[in-house]
C-alpha cells in the first residue's frame, strides 16, 4: 500500500485563518490575503514565532476545508502518515497531538510523526506546503499552495489549492 506523508500546518491545519484573526485581535487592524502573497509566514506576520511558542496555540487552529472528509477516504486506500516539523517548539507537541485526536479521530497515534527533519521518513509521496520539506524528499511530491509559496517559480512541483483537488487526484477515476 502506497505510503503518503501529509503535513499539518498549511495543509490540514488552516494556520493562515488563525494568523489573520490573531493579527486583528492584537493590532485592531486587518490584513488581507492579497497583501501577504509571496511573503514567508514570519515576514507576513512578525508575531508568528511568539504565537507558535504559546501553549494552547495549536489547539485553536481551524481545520482546512474538506480535509477531514477527503483524508478519511484516503486513509481507507493508502497508508497515511501525518508528519509535522514540530520539535522546534516543545509546547506545540502535546497541542498538535490533541488537535489531531479531536479532529481526525480516524488517524491512529501509530500514524503520527512529530519531528525536526522529514527526510528521515520513508514514504512514496509527500503533500506539503514548504520547499524545505519537498526539496529533500526522495519520493513523489505535491505542493499545497499557500501565500508563502505561490510565487516561487524556481521549483516545478505538482500543486493543489484545495482538498477537493486532492480528492480528484487520488479518489475520483
Question: So which residues are the catalytic ones?
Answer: 7, 9
> Chain-centre distance of CA 158, in angstroms?
16
Residue 60 as a binder of its own copies (CB under 8 A): the answer is no
Smallest separation (angstroms) from its own copies to the CB of 170: 20
**Residue 34 touches its own copies, criterion: CB under 8 A:** no
> Which residues does residue 4 pair with via DSSP β-bridges, in sequence order?
80, 125
For position 110 contacting its own copies by CB under 8 A, the verdict is yes
Minimum CB distance to its own copies smaller for 29 or for 110: 110
Residue 88 beta carbon to its own copies: minimum distance, rounded to whole angstroms: 5
Alpha-carbon span 48 to 125, nearest angstrom? 29
- Grid cell for residue 102: 479531536
Sign of the CA dihedral 69, 51, 131, 97?
A: negative
Q: Which of 36, 64, 70, 112 binds its own copies (CB under 8 A)?
A: 112
In the set 25, 76, 109, 151, which binds its own copies (CB under 8 A)? 109
Distance of alpha carbon 36 from alpha carbon 41, whole angstroms:
9
Nearest to 12 by CA among 130, 132, 144, 133: 144
| Cell output for 81 | 502518515
When binding is defined by CB under 8 A, the residue of 32, 122, 154, 173 that contacts its own copies is 122
Q: Does 121 sit near its own copies (CB under 8 A)?
A: yes
Contact set with its own copies (CB under 8 A): 55, 81, 87-88, 90-91, 93-94, 96-98, 101, 108-117, 120-123
Amino acid at each position: 500500500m502506497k505510503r503518503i506523508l501529509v503535513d499539518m500546518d498549511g495543509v490540514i491545519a488552516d494556520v493562515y485563518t488563525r494568523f489573520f484573526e490573531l493579527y486583528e485581535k492584537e493590532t485592531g487592524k486587518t490584513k488581507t490575503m492579497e497583501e501577504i502573497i509571496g511573503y514567508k509566514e514570519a515576514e507576513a506576520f512578525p508575531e508568528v514565532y511568539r504565537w507558535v511558542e504559546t501553549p494552547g496555540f495549536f489547539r485553536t487552529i481551524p481545520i482546512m476545508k474538506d480535509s477531514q472528509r477527503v483524508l478519511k477516504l484516503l486513509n481507507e486506500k493508502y497508508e497515511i502518515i501525518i508528519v509535522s516539523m514540530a520539535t522546534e517548539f516543545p509546547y506545540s507537541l502535546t497541542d498538535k497531538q490533541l488537535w489531531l485526536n479531536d479532529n481526525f479521530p480516524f488517524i491512529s497515534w501509530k500514524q503520527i510523526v512529530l519531528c525536526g527533519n522529514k527526510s528521515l521518513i520513508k514514504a512514496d509521496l509527500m503533500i506539503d506546503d514548504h520547499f524545505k520539506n519537498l526539496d529533500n524528499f526522495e519520493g513523489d511530491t505535491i505542493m499545497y499552495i499557500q501565500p508563502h509559496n505561490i510565487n516561487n517559480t524556481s521549483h516545478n512541483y505538482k500543486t493543489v489549492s484545495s482538498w477537493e483537488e486532492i480528492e480528484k487526484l487520488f479518489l475520483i477515476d
